[in-house]
Each structure stands twice: as C-alpha cells, then as structure tokens.
C-alpha cells in the first residue's frame, strides 16, 4: 500500500505537467491565430499589415526584379542611379586630385585600415590626411574599376580587391559615399 501511495502523486505530477504543457500549447495556438493577416471568416476588415506579406513566389519574383533593376540592393542602396552618379563623381574628383570634392563624397566617420588603422571624423581631417589615405594603389584601383564589375554585398560596394568601400547612410533620402579605405590589400587576391 505504501508503494501505491507514492506512485499516485508521481502520476498526478505527470498529468499536471502534461496539462500545463497542453494549456500552454493551446494558448500559443490561440495567440498565433490572433495575429494572422488577412480577413477572418466573420468578414472582419483586412489586417493593414497583410499588404506587407506576399506569396513566396511573388516575393522571389520581386526580389529578382529588384536585383535586376538595382544591382546595389544587397548593400542597402535604394537609388542605383544616384549611387552610380556618386561613384563617377568620386572617380573624377580623385583623378583630378580635388581633395575637397573627394571629402564631400565621404560618409563620416571614415575607417582607414593599414599598418595603423584610424577613423577620420571630419572633412578637414580627411583633407589633411588625403595623401596618406588616397595612395597610388587606392587611386589605381578606383581608376580601373568599372561600375558593372563592382562587388556588392551587405557590407557595402567594393572597389578592386577592397581598396575602397562605398555605402549608404541610414537616413532618408540616402546619401552615398566612401565608407572605408584599405591601404594594405592582401596581394594574394590579386
């Protein structure tokens, strides 16, 4: 009899644990149902967020179209024409050695990586250190870079083997410009 008494509470505990688990599952299912998009069977108004959700095939088609129309989308760039215009302006300003014009096309703070890395925080500082930042290898990589051959990823748009990186500002309308310069690019990738 003592064994029967000790096994009953264990069985009850298992049942209580299962009941609590089942209640949790039912609650989560109900909560999930409350947040579904679209209209309910009762004829309620559509959820305003439902427009943001598209069928999987439509989303893939839209993404393919946006990548075709905007090859810089992966880098968060929303206006490819404005980005190309800025890129060409940087190439022109660097070729002309127009330090002030290049400084205007830098998104600050600018990260400069080399033997000793630095962060440039003002246009005046960039102009002062221009020759140490815009070295011959950096200028050559930029001059040789064609828009159609730019490497694009979520971190930005890369020139050459990584000598210069371009990006976009977070605010709207976006500003585009140089976000990083790498002075010592791994020659094994060349």
Mean predicted confidence (pLDDT) in 104-118:
96
Burial class (CB in 10 A: 0-12, 13-18, 19+), 163: buried
Q: Distance between CA atoms of 67 and 54, rounded to whole angstroms? A: 17
- Are 120 and 108 in contact by the 8 Å Cβ rule? The answer is yes
Task: Report pTM.
Answer: 0.64
pLDDT in tens, 167-178: 999 999 999 999
pLDDT score at 56: 45
Any idea which of 42-56, 78-92, 114-128 has the lowest mean pLDDT?
42-56
pLDDT in tens, 9-43: 444 444 445 455 445 545 444 444 444 444 434 44
At 117, is the pLDDT very low, low, confident or very high (cuts 50, 70, 90)? very high
For the chain, the average pLDDT equals 77
Any idea which of 15-19, 69-73, 107-111 has the lowest mean pLDDT?
15-19
Mean predicted confidence (pLDDT) in 85-95:
98
């Amino acid at each position: 009899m003592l064994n029967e008494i000790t096994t009953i509470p264990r069985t009850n505990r298992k049942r209580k644990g299962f009941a609590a688990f089942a209640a949790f599952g039912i609650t989560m299912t109900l909560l999930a149902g409350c947040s579904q998009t679209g209209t309910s069977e009762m004829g309620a108004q559509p959820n305003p967020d439902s427009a943001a959700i598209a069928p999987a095939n439509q989303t893939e088609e839209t993404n393919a179209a946006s990548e075709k129309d905007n090859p810089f989308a992966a880098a968060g760039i929303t206006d490819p024409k404005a980005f190309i215009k800025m890129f060409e302006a940087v190439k022109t300003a660097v070729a002309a050695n127009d330090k002030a014009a290049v400084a205007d096309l830098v998104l600050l703070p600018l990260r400069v990586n080399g033997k000793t890395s630095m962060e440039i925080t003002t246009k005046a500082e960039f102009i002062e250190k221009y020759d140490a930042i815009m070295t011959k290898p950096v200028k050559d990589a930029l001059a040789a870079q064609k828009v159609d051959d730019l490497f694009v990823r979520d971190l930005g748009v890369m020139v050459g083997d990584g000598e210069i990186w371009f990006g976009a500002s977070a605010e709207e309308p976006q500003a585009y410009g140089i976000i990083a310069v790498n002075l010592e690019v791994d020659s094994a990738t060349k």
